[in-house]
Chain A
């Protein structure tokens, strides 16, 4: 404990290094914390903020299970240091639902059976969310390109692509 941030002091004793201050907005909530300089953003979200939606797969930026949206762009949170998120605005899968209601994108994933084990789903949802934010009417090729960094090992790619397509259509119709 560095003693400066009350319950938000997340200094791990293992490195023994001086903590680094971190201020960011996570899913609309302002977070002030101090963290170990070697902590990854993924570990900060999961272990300290207890946001367990974001998953660790490969830990090397290959599989996309840890995908979050940082300052409007998708990133692999497993290969970013927590301190690098200082001043950033972060959206995780927990931030997609509003007032207890799942977003259109999440509803379409369920409707299209776009998940089996569900491990890749949070990352898929974040990549798809960022895609629809920059391109509300993506082609199948554009969807594939946007999701190329998200691996699904239950071979569910076709329903996932279908879910993104139908979510795009519904968003264009319903969120005008």
Chain B
């Protein structure tokens, strides 16, 4: 490693914020599954590592009726996979978490790290987008909640400032009858990044939400397409229609995982299958 960093592990939010304020070129460490690789490749350098794992607040992980699901920055992906309440209330989150990397990596990787890393192909952002999740940020000026769709700015870029920390993410509560699904296409089963990932949700009022990863510089919530879908209403023809329509709303590139043409094709296929799943569940 070229970076020569020292290591600081604060026990409170205040200590962490003070440290960030006084030390430029600090990187926040939670699971380290992205940060350590970037440091090792010398893709980034830093002078200080701030390990937030000893801050009690970031371990918060609870579901409250009427409020929703709070996932702290210290909660790892396997904790999400193992949560029965998530599997029941937020099925797409369970599915996306279970599809993410390998068992060992899921023991370290965190949901908050997955959004802060802001990879266009992250598995969890599309799910947070369909649930209208709020990102809980703290900084010198205090706390704020930011809607997840306003959090991403570009490839590996977020609105987070150098002196701010994401404490957690809140998924609003869901009503009885809410359902969702996450479908991912990857080169191999078990351990790969998404070639394309699609999250779809149907709430208790039959409103559809759609979000998609790895087809644009940021994870996309397909708001305009959702509006058209929700105006049309649910029908058995809807999934086929969306399969053709979705290409108007995405702008994928070709890379090592897939060609642009394949990404466009598979986005339609996954969106169709996701909607078929959500619509069929109602018929049965």
CB distance from B27 to the nearest CB of A (A): 12
Interface stretch (choices A70-78, A90-98, A106-114): A70-78
Question: With A38-B5, A148-B190 given, is the CB distance from A64 to B49 under 8 Å?
Answer: no
Q: Closest A residue to B107 by CB, please name it.
A: A73
B-contacting residues of A (Cβ < 8 Å)?
Answer: 15-18, 20, 37-38, 40, 59-62, 64, 67, 73-76, 78-81, 83-84, 127, 144-146, 148-150
Contact B190 A61 (CB under 8 A): no
Cβ-based interface call for B159 (8 A): no
List 5 tightest A-B contacts by C-beta distance, closest first: A149-B102, A148-B190, A79-B36, A37-B7, A73-B107
Q: Is B235 an interface residue (CB 8 A)?
A: no
Please give, as numbers and ranges, the residues of chain A lying within 8 Å of B32 by CB-CB distance: 79-81, 84
Q: Out of B3, B9, B41, B103, name the residue touching A145 (CB < 8 Å).
A: B103
A81-B4 CB under 8 A given contacts A61-B33, A74-B107: no
Is B145 interfacial (CB 8 A cutoff)?
no
- Given A20-B7, A37-B49, A79-B36, does the pair A61, B103 have CB atoms closer than 8 Å? no
Complex: how many Å from CA A120 to CA B3? 29
* Closest A residue, CB atoms, query B190: A148
**CA–CA, A136 and B7, complex, Å:** 39
Q: Which residues of A contact B5 (CB under 8 A)?
A: 17, 37-38
* Residue from the list A74, A76, A81, A146 in contact with B49, Cβ < 8 A: A81
A149 near B7 with CB under 8 A, answer no
B37 cross-chain contacts in A, Cβ below 8 A: 60-61, 79
A84 to B9, CA, bound (A): 9
- Residues of A within 8 Å of B104, CB to CB, are 61, 64, 67, 74-76, 127, 149
Q: Does B85 contact A (CB under 8 A)?
A: no
Contacting pair A18 B107 (CB below 8 A): no
Assembly CA distance A171 to B186 (angstroms): 36
Indicate whether B191 reaches chain A with its CB closer than 8 angstroms: yes
CB of B101 within 8 A of chain A? yes
A81→B35 CA distance, assembly (Å): 11
Q: Is the CB of A144 within 8 A of B190?
A: yes
